[in-house]
Structure 1
Amino acid sequence: MCTCAKLIALEITNIYENGDTEFHYDYCEDLKDGRGFTAGIAGFCTGTGDAWQVIQEYHKLTGGNDKFTSMDSVLAKYASDGSDSTAGLEDYLSTWEELGKSDTKFQQAQDTVRDDLYYNPAQAASNKLGLKLDISQGQIYDTGIEHGTGDDLDGMLALISATNKEFTSDAPGDSGSTLTINGHQVDEIVWLQKFIQVREADLKNPKEKENQGGNYWAQTTYRTKSYSYMIAQKEYMWTKSVTLLDNDGKPTTVSCSGGAVSSTRRKRGPDGRPIRVRRKRELVHSSKPPPNRRRRPVVAGKRNVEL
């Protein structure tokens, strides 16, 4: 994706996640979901290791002498143990909020880790498929953010695999881009439409037990419906702007110059709280984990176990 298309893809997912196109670097909250503090532009958690990865990246930029330094030993322990405890992190929330608002190095650290964990794996999967259209690559990225980029039953890679199995013959179309799936020639938009169907079915009926609680995933099908709308509008390439459906189902235009033309709001659950999907999480100890290593996600604060 070009720089403009990437920014649009990120902003679209921001709308689905937060209700606006902004990058909420300063967001921090204990959601009481077994993962400690959740913070920043991609919901980095102290109990799963990705928040610690952000802090380590930040240390590289500050020389290791910054407002998080005194918390390093606690953060490293909770990341290693998969602990949801916030003891010893009394200043964590206020520090994250303060630095997230104005510290460009801290914002850069979040950008780097988001790309390492979500954007780059999504791009790798897109490249392997041969996807050429921005709309397809954007959908894969959004799937990675919500479902995780792993190969668990509800993960991005599993959904791609399930989609590919649907093609047992050629599937022509008029998108101008053709994929080779199982030896068959498949139009890229035809493939994308099938992928969206597979993803929406998974949102309505997640396979992993931990993703079934609260029916929260089923409440986020506005993400797939929004992309279906873009397909209908033939918004395939994102060179300047794109019109999509916001979380209320209203058309809104996002541009790479920043911002949405019309406003939207974050979806809320029956309890009135904003819906933040509890997506599949992995303990992260390195931005480049060994190949083919699957990790069991942290559930309710239990320690991660290697598979």
Structure 2
Amino acid sequence: MLNRPKKQLTAVLLGLAVAAAPATAFASPFQPQPAISGTQYQDRVDAPRAVGLDDPAKKDIAMQIVSSAENSSLDWKAQYGYIEDIGDGRGYTAGIIGFCSGTGDMLDLVELYSQREPGNVLEKYLPALREVDGSDSHDGLDPNFTGDWESAANDNAFKTAQNDERDRVYFDPSVNQGKSDGVGVLGQFIYYDAIVMHGDGGDPTSFRSIRNRALNEATPPAQGGDETAWLNAFLDARVWAMKQEEAHSDTSRVDTAQRVFLNNGNLNLDTPLDWQVYGDNFHIG
């Protein structure tokens, strides 16, 4: 989480591509095109589209499963005001996705909130959040930061800012990488949960390092590999990364949750779902 991903833009030089392509590659608009029968047209219309984790219903399931691990509750929308120091060396952990004062994502969130709502109750903590970034210090935050965070959580603008930062930093990158790797809803969720816990920086236990470790053992479907074999290799690498840090050494969110879904062949993360995290049982019907 300390090394946060940056958006990358890809320029599409369409004009150059068209100029470089042979003329025979393009059909003239004046050439007659084969007729499409009514049956063929209906087949195209009715062809099912692949559902990703960004489907609203699937995304809500993902948020519930992550909340079961982060907050011991499926009610993720009740977590905007959550805040505590869980003793993992990252300072305060708060909100719907565990924004941390020591890893920079909480700073980014409060900066976004302050851009949208100048003078909000958390804005005065921005200098302190910049100072404690990269540490577990509470300097400049105590004793009122936790109470002010809980107050801010009553503001819909703060809730929206949490949603937007969750998507920008964690959800969208994991879904995009999952689609690029050719994995379905479960695989995209497995990526998402890994990014939430480990971030997407360059350290040995970050998401991209976990993925690189898995590449030594298996091949993603987009490169011709078997999806289940690839996801098992990824989860093996994830478990290794979790065991490198005492605060994350309980691997039940993989062993008795994600691995269960995978072993059941539930690559689409369809309900009903039953799993355990840290000894607690959860069900989505």
Q: TM-score under structure 1 normalisation?
A: 0.66
Deviations along 1:222-269, whole A, 9 cap, x unmatched? 423311211233322246x341312256763326xxxxxxxxxxxxxx
**Letter in structure 1 aligned against 2:195:** G
1:136 and 2:187 equivalent?
A: yes
> What secondary structure sits across from 1:253 in the alignment?
strand
Alignment of 1:1-307 (within 5 A): 1=53, 2-23=55-76, 24-31=79-86, 33-62=88-117, 64-79=118-133, 84-87=137-140, 89-100=142-153, 102-131=154-183, 133-167=184-218, 179-181=221-223, 185-204=224-243, 206=244, 211=245, 215-238=246-269, 241-247=271-277, 252-254=282-284
Cα 1:111/1:246, change in 2 over 3 Å? same
Once the two structures are TM-superposed, the CA of residue 125 in structure 1 deviates from its matched residue by: 2.1
**8 Å Cα contact 2:69-2:278 kept in structure 1:** no
Larger-gyration structure (1/2): 2
Cα 1:218/1:49, change in 2 over 3 Å? closer
Structure showing the higher helix proportion among its residues: 2
Work out which structure has the larger RCO, using CA pairs closer than 8 Å and 6 or more positions apart in sequence. Answer: 1
Cα 1:20/1:83, change in 2 over 3 Å? closer
Aligned-partner Cα distance in 1 for 2:277–2:124: 40
Aligned to 2:46: none
**Letter in structure 2 aligned against 1:65:** G
Once the two structures are TM-superposed, the CA of residue 167 in structure 1 deviates from its matched residue by: 3.3
Once the two structures are TM-superposed, the CA of residue 89 in structure 1 deviates from its matched residue by: 4.5
Once the two structures are TM-superposed, the CA of residue 145 in structure 1 deviates from its matched residue by: 1.3
For structure 1, the 5+ residue unaligned runs are: 169-177, 256-307
Cα 1:94/1:167, change in 2 over 3 Å? closer
RMSD: 2.6
Cα 1:162/1:98, change in 2 over 3 Å? same
> What secondary structure sits across from 1:201 in the alignment?
helix
Q: Which moved more, 1:221-230 or 1:70-79?
A: 70-79
Cα 1:200/1:73, change in 2 over 3 Å? closer
Aligned to 2:6: none
Aligned-partner Cα distance in 1 for 2:123–2:240: 44
**Letter in structure 2 aligned against 1:73:** P
**Following TM superposition, where does structure 1 have runs of at least 4 consecutive aligned residues deviating by more than 6 angstroms?**
none
Deviations along 1:38-68, whole A, 9 cap, x unmatched? 2212222233322221112112332x02212
Aligned-partner Cα distance in 1 for 2:111–2:84: 20
> What secondary structure sits across from 1:244 in the alignment?
strand
Once the two structures are TM-superposed, the CA of residue 94 in structure 1 deviates from its matched residue by: 0.4
Aligned-partner Cα distance in 2 for 1:78–1:68: 15
Once the two structures are TM-superposed, the CA of residue 137 in structure 1 deviates from its matched residue by: 0.5
Aligned-partner Cα distance in 2 for 1:99–1:220: 33
Give the aligned length: 230
Once the two structures are TM-superposed, the CA of residue 97 in structure 1 deviates from its matched residue by: 1.1
**8 Å Cα contact 1:121-1:149 kept in structure 2:** no
**Letter in structure 1 aligned against 2:56:** T
> What secondary structure sits across from 1:65 in the alignment?
coil
> What secondary structure sits across from 1:150 in the alignment?
coil
Q: Which moved more, 1:68-77 or 1:147-156?
A: 68-77
For structure 2, the 5+ residue unaligned runs are: 1-52
Aligned-partner Cα distance in 1 for 2:93–2:222: 40
Overall identity of the aligned pairs, in %: 24
Q: TM-score under structure 2 normalisation?
A: 0.71
**Letter in structure 2 aligned against 1:179:** P
**8 Å Cα contact 1:235-1:242 kept in structure 2:** no
